Structure 1
Amino acid sequence: MMRPIEPFLTEFLTGTYKNLTAEQVTRQVYPVWTYSNLVLLVPVLLVTDFLRYKPVIILQGITYVTTMLLILFGSGVHLAQLAFFCYSIAMAADVAYFSYIYTMVQPRYYQRVTSYVKGAILLGYAAGAMLAQLLVSLGGVSLGCLAFITLISVSVALLTSFLLPMPKTSLFHKGTRSAQRGTSGEETPDSEDFSIWARSTTAAKHVGSKFRGFLLDCKECYSSMAMLFYCIWSATGTCGFYQVSAYIQLFWLHTQPGNFTAYNGGVDAFSTLTGAAASVAVGHMSLEWSVWGELVLGGFTFLVAGAIFLMDLTDNIWISYMCFALFKTVYLQLSTICTFQIAKTLSRRRYALVFGMNSFVNTVLQSVLTAIVINSLQLSITSQYFVYASFFAAISLLFTVRGVYTVLHMKRPTGGNQAERATNLPEGSRP
């Protein structure tokens, strides 16, 4: 995550290094990431569980290195698009990362480990952004040098990914092959399923069976309304976050054309650090999430929408910086809440499925927003951010209404509601 070039990537692409125009970056380069991610997410999800996560994490490292090589040494719109295509592969592989982590720890540690891991990820990003800001502001270092430092950083990450231990189980196929066959030589249901697959004469039968299994798993996972709403926020909130973050440098270019990248790294570092602190703090919060969780999401999402509205209305770059910092901090905290709430209500074999489905829905929404707002309507950058603020306001309204209903429903004196709600959740303690 330590990628110092990212806070200054727009200037790198539109400046003397690559000589692309802001219009080319907005309409032709950045959308490639969104559309490619939509196409790649499902294949990566299917391959992730079959390969037991670690190879996909290694693939992520390889594509990050390839992306930086193309950004450093490529020129023209087409190579920039290829770089963002590789970047989309790396982003699609994110589903393997948390799925891998949740196979390595017990369910009772999910809330804490989610907060620690997200905090570590954000700390790495903040370190890269702060390093970039210090080097540019105090050292006069060129953006080309920042890109080279980023290449070194992602190369080190690729090398360390080879040291990760392989999980002993997958999420859709319980246990290893030897475990599936059983130590006593007796055939278990899992070994029977594996034998049927192994004896399949065509790959089409296996794909069809896998797809039917996905549908049954989806039906069971999303049968809980509480689970469904956390997944809705995870998908829609992440969609809005990526849309706002992807074009924020272009927004700052519009707000202050002569000095739009002066403090990008510092703002990114500060907002990421505060987001990391908020994420870690969430891991130690004692709250009756089954009662108050949806109302918390609704209230804080309203704060996010307000920050984007204010950022869109102001011409002051410093107010815009503060609004973005507030937006990112609150989003990262709410994202952490959703992640551990989803994880602790699932059985282990469904993590990759649910997180992958959330990512897929998020990517579909991003693609729709990009196609309508950027490619079809070709709205100005300020109009784009008005749409994004309205998007978060709609999410806030949905979750506030749902949260009020949940609180009233759960707090009614007629007993049994809370126990009934807990019963309806998927079992998270099953292996």
Structure 2
Amino acid sequence: MNNINYLWLFALLFEASDTVRSVLYPVMSELFPTLLLCLYGFFSNLRPSEPFLTHFLLGPEKNLTETQVVNEIYPVWTYSYLALLFPVFLATDYLRYKPVLILQAASFVATYAVLVWGRGVPAMQVLELAFGLASATDVAYYSYIYSVVPPASYQRVTGFCRGATLLGSAAGSLSGQLLVSLAAVRLRRLVEATLAAAVVAFTVPWFLPMPGRSLFFHRSGEEEGEATAEEEGRSRNGTAMEGGSRNGTAMEGRTRGVQERSDDADSKVPLNSQRVDPRQRSSGLTEVLRLLWRDFLRCYSQRPLLAWSAWWALSTCGYFQVVNYAQALWERVRSPTDLEIYNGYVETLATLLGAMAALAVGSVRVSWATWGEAALCLFSAVMAACVFTMDLVRHVGVCYGAYVLFRTAYMLLITVATFQIAASLSMQRYALVFGVNAFVALLLQSVLTLVVVDTAGLGLDVFSQFLIYGCYFAAIAAIFLLAALSKMASGRRSKTPAVPGETDSDTRSLPY
């Protein structure tokens, strides 16, 4: 009798544990990789030395000149980033993200190891090459999570991952400034601390589960059909640019459709399982390139998406140039009697205000389809004014303030651009469009760097560079001012009665 009771108790416990496991496993299969990615994003962006990089290179530790740093070393990052972006994008999808994440972590370690022990211009150029590789592989960080969580969780986990990177960046800048200001820590020690954080980040991606699918090379026919159906549904329903975020109903319907078509056995297999779905098929390079080209033409045929993407590429090009060379400008305008450097506080404030602006704009109700071009013109003009102020006033405090406003304006509007572009795209095309926009931005930046910064081109000093960057943003503002005026003129023409006695209420609204 006792044995029978023990068997009954064992069976009851087994059934209870199976029930608990069936409830918790889907949650843990999503939570575990998200938590690891957040840890990786935090430590890989925890860089106490970043706000003082130019000062460190110009100081006695490395003893480099301003011309060497600005005109010979920094341009290597732009060129390497551009050259590696597209092949890394394809390799990331083909290798299913995790190996490329490990490569990125190794690149960060190599970058700061060279910064600690390397000397001379060639060593620093190798450093920029390694950092260019790390920047190009950043696509793996934001793509990995979409392969291991269900579509309904995309928005939530993206917010977690982006929040972790911003928190790491702000924490790194603030801790570096506090160590310099309060403890008089040498800059070399900050670089060593950054290297230590990179080593911690390097250990994290090894524990990530290997995805069983990817967006382009390893996808099921079911997913491809759903992406096409979703895209056509968005076009028919006119959701292209009015929404501030993804259509939740469409996303829920897509998720429900996948679940209804899945059988019971497949529904128990988590998305991050290494077991390959029997319905999955691997696409060849030619097929993937053809798919990408077809989707490229289909996406950029939409005028609103083209406008937001054009601003994205143009402004990101100028933004990178300003951020990359701002420290060199501060070194020039800083008085020799100023023994204290506040770069860390400035970077922290700029990061936090940019994050707050990005969060706040999500709750602002604006018809971006109507006022989009006007907003792009206005904020581009604000950014141009900030750059001109940094260049012409030449006071370090004013430069700091203009820089913070510049970055805040950019972060606010790039968030709006992200919303507007993503609103009409499936996940596959989302990755394509943002990849293309980044590539165009880097291509423009490489041309600008080659002509303005590089010693092979004009090799201008930092003040002349910022004057050109100010004119560049003013030109962007002028382009979108013309676009806004053209849109207003076309709107008035559409409201003109075609038949005598016709009223404005009879006219049709604009298609965008």
| TM-score, L = length of structure 1 | 0.85
CA contact (8 A) 1:38 1:360 kept: yes
Between the aligned partners of 2:357 and 2:331, the Cα distance in structure 1 is 29
**Counterpart amino acid of 2:471?**
S
Q: Alpha-carbon deviation of 1:415?
A: 5.2
Compared with structure 1, are the counterparts of its residues 31 and 315 closer, same or farther at alpha carbon in structure 2 (3 Å cutoff)?
Answer: same
- Pairwise mapping of residues 330-409 of structure 1 onto structure 2 (< 5 A)? 330-375=409-454, 376-406=457-487
Q: Alpha-carbon deviation of 1:273?
A: 1.0
Q: How big is the alpha-carbon RMSD for the aligned residues of Structure 1 and Structure 2? A: 2.9
Between the aligned partners of 2:140 and 2:327, the Cα distance in structure 1 is 29
- The aligned counterpart of 1:55 is 99
Q: Alpha-carbon deviation of 1:74?
A: 1.3
Compared with structure 1, are the counterparts of its residues 409 and 156 closer, same or farther at alpha carbon in structure 2 (3 Å cutoff)?
Answer: farther
- The aligned counterpart of 1:325 is 404
- The aligned counterpart of 2:300 is 222
- The aligned counterpart of 1:64 is 108
Between the aligned partners of 1:16 and 1:350, the Cα distance in structure 2 is 49
Tell whether 2:319 aligns with 1:241.
yes
Tell whether 2:76 aligns with 1:7.
no
Tell whether 2:285 aligns with 1:285.
no
**Counterpart amino acid of 2:308?**
Y
- Pairwise mapping of residues 305-324 of structure 1 onto structure 2 (< 5 A)? 305-324=384-403
Q: Which moved more, 1:56-65 or 1:268-277?
A: 56-65
Structure 1: which 5+ residue stretches go unaligned?
185-189, 198-205, 422-431
Tell whether 2:290 aligns with 1:212.
yes
- The aligned counterpart of 1:73 is 117
CA contact (8 A) 1:54 1:100 kept: yes
- The aligned counterpart of 1:231 is 309
- The aligned counterpart of 1:144 is 188
Tell whether 2:297 aligns with 1:253.
no
Between the aligned partners of 1:261 and 1:386, the Cα distance in structure 2 is 27
**Counterpart amino acid of 2:112?**
M
Between the aligned partners of 2:91 and 2:397, the Cα distance in structure 1 is 45
Between the aligned partners of 1:94 and 1:310, the Cα distance in structure 2 is 32
**Counterpart amino acid of 1:50?**
Y
| Residue aligned with 2:85, SS | helix
Q: Which has the higher contact order (CA 8 A, sep 6+)?
A: 1
CA contact (8 A) 2:218 2:280 kept: no
Q: Which moved more, 1:12-21 or 1:91-100?
A: 91-100
Compared with structure 1, are the counterparts of its residues 260 and 384 closer, same or farther at alpha carbon in structure 2 (3 Å cutoff)?
Answer: farther
Between the aligned partners of 2:98 and 2:64, the Cα distance in structure 1 is 37
| Residue aligned with 1:262, SS | coil
**Counterpart amino acid of 1:149?**
A
Among candidates 206, 212, 231, match of residue 162 of structure 1 = 206
- The C-alpha deviation readout for 1:276-309, integer Å capped at 9, x for no partner, is 1111222333333322233222211111111111
**Counterpart amino acid of 2:481?**
T
Compared with structure 1, are the counterparts of its residues 165 and 354 closer, same or farther at alpha carbon in structure 2 (3 Å cutoff)?
Answer: farther
| Residue aligned with 2:119, SS | coil
CA contact (8 A) 1:305 1:392 kept: yes
CA contact (8 A) 1:41 1:360 kept: yes
**Counterpart amino acid of 1:139?**
A
| Residue aligned with 2:394, SS | coil
Aligned length: 404
Between the aligned partners of 1:284 and 1:303, the Cα distance in structure 2 is 22
- The aligned counterpart of 1:32 is 76
CA contact (8 A) 1:99 1:351 kept: no
Compared with structure 1, are the counterparts of its residues 194 and 175 closer, same or farther at alpha carbon in structure 2 (3 Å cutoff)?
Answer: closer
Q: Which moved more, 1:22-31 or 1:402-411?
A: 402-411
Compared with structure 1, are the counterparts of its residues 353 and 31 closer, same or farther at alpha carbon in structure 2 (3 Å cutoff)?
Answer: same
CA contact (8 A) 1:116 1:280 kept: no
Compared with structure 1, are the counterparts of its residues 191 and 305 closer, same or farther at alpha carbon in structure 2 (3 Å cutoff)?
Answer: farther
Q: Alpha-carbon deviation of 1:149?
A: 1.0
Compared with structure 1, are the counterparts of its residues 362 and 53 closer, same or farther at alpha carbon in structure 2 (3 Å cutoff)?
Answer: same
- Pairwise mapping of residues 255-274 of structure 1 onto structure 2 (< 5 A)? 255-258=333-336, 259=338, 262-274=341-353
| Residue aligned with 1:247, SS | helix
Compared with structure 1, are the counterparts of its residues 191 and 392 closer, same or farther at alpha carbon in structure 2 (3 Å cutoff)?
Answer: farther
**Counterpart amino acid of 2:483?**
R
Q: Which moved more, 1:156-165 or 1:324-333?
A: 156-165
Q: Alpha-carbon deviation of 1:216?
A: 1.5
- The C-alpha deviation readout for 1:250-282, integer Å capped at 9, x for no partner, is 111111252487111111111111111111222
- The aligned counterpart of 1:133 is 177
Between the aligned partners of 1:114 and 1:403, the Cα distance in structure 2 is 32
Between the aligned partners of 1:300 and 1:348, the Cα distance in structure 2 is 28
Tell whether 2:215 aligns with 1:171.
yes
| Residue aligned with 1:135, SS | helix
Between the aligned partners of 1:42 and 1:26, the Cα distance in structure 2 is 26
The share of aligned pairs that are identical, in percent, is 42
Between the aligned partners of 1:191 and 1:220, the Cα distance in structure 2 is 30
- The aligned counterpart of 1:203 is none
CA contact (8 A) 1:70 1:80 kept: yes
Q: Which moved more, 1:261-270 or 1:135-144?
A: 261-270
Compared with structure 1, are the counterparts of its residues 220 and 7 closer, same or farther at alpha carbon in structure 2 (3 Å cutoff)?
Answer: same
CA contact (8 A) 2:309 2:417 kept: yes
Compared with structure 1, are the counterparts of its residues 311 and 170 closer, same or farther at alpha carbon in structure 2 (3 Å cutoff)?
Answer: same
- The aligned counterpart of 1:200 is none
Between the aligned partners of 2:371 and 2:209, the Cα distance in structure 1 is 38
Structure 2: which 5+ residue stretches go unaligned?
1-44, 225-260, 264-276, 496-503
- Compare CA radii of gyration and give the structure with the larger one: 2
| Residue aligned with 1:162, SS | helix
